[in-house]
Amino acid sequence: MPTPDRPRAVPQALRPGDRVAVAAPAGPPDPELLDRGAALLASWGLEVTVLPHVRDSHLGHLAGRDEDRAADLTEACADPGVRAVLCARGGYGTQRMVDLVDWKAIAAAAEPALLIGSSDITALHEAFAVRLGTSTLHAPMPATGALVDSPASADHLRTVLFHPERVTELPLTGEVLAPGTARGRLAGGNASLLAASVGTPTALPPDGCLLLLEETGEEPYRLDRILTQLVRAGVLGRAAGIVLGDFTDCGPEEEVRAVLADRLGGLGIPVAAGLPAGHGPLQLTVPLGTAAELGDGVLTLLEPPLAPRPSPGRPTAEEAACAS
């Protein structure tokens, strides 16, 4: 099977001195965790801007009004001086603001900022792929213990951001529910968010993708309902393969395994478990939009997660072409 073409836009690797922004598209972040996360990013040599409405609160479960959260994200992603936007945390709220983002303004930017986040941010990963055709990173977030209290998770994100060429595979330590080998672009994220996006303008068609699924806090019967919705909507059957991340606090392990095997094992595509991504103690960074191969207990990346950065003073390919 040939490697699919890259998405239209592949964000570049970061360098010390780059400016990054912290946004809050979903729930309100814990102030102490937010400060610790910003300090950690600064310790990597990044210039960190916490966007104006990140510390707001609305209805108790949202980080400010929908229009304010959308405006923060639009401004940062369209700003040529911002190399990456890290979402502070998940929770709930991204679905409320995603259609208020000015996608035309972001698309008009010479290089839209790299989006980083997970959990509720799955809705934005889909929207960035559909509206912009750009790769994103499913990764631990700065106002969560998954980043500030997990050196291994933080180190992996840092390596992906600054040295993407070093990240060539992701481990799969769990059971193979359906054997086989498949190639495709990585997509997906939180299963309940994917189910909630079905029928919306920003739902990502999973055709030929390697679909990441992870979940937290859903009892086995609710997990069954989420997966059944994705099956009935034709989402899972259109993927080339499925990679299972963590299913944290979803009930007894054997019951969760039984539901996953029942709902996914008969799709006729490879299904492998054990990727440390989602809501577990170790959260590896998964580059969505990157071509990969699933097989033999490993997920192999067929290209670097981010594009190489031209050396300072060295002309880009576009500049060199113009000069000639």
Query: In this structure, are residues 176 and 273 in contact, taking their beta carbons and an 8 Å threshold?
Result: yes
Q: Give the dihedral of Cα atoms 42, 290, 207, 26; nearest 10 deg.
A: 0
138 is catalytic: no
With CA atoms as reference, report the closest residue to 144 among 215, 95, 98, 87.
Answer: 87
214 is catalytic: yes
279 is catalytic: yes
Helices then strands, counting H and E runs in the chain, come out as: 11, 14
CA pair distance 108, 98, nearest whole angstrom: 18
Q: What token pair was written down for 200?
A: 């919306």
CA pair distance 100, 120, nearest whole angstrom: 16
Q: What token pair was written down for 10?
A: 């592949």
Active-site residue, selected from the candidate residues 75, 126, 214, 218: 214
For 163-200, the DSSP string reads -GGG--EEE--S-EEE---EEEEEEEEEHHHHHHHTTS
290: amino acid identity, one letter: T
CA pair distance 11, 307, nearest whole angstrom: 6
CA pair distance 127, 137, nearest whole angstrom: 13
Q: What token pair was written down for 161?
A: 């951001």
Active-site residue, selected from the candidate residues 53, 75, 118, 119: 119
Beta strands at 169-171 and 298-301: parallel, antiparallel or unpaired: antiparallel
Q: Which residue has the tokens 């930017």?
A: 109
Catalytic residues: 119, 214, 279
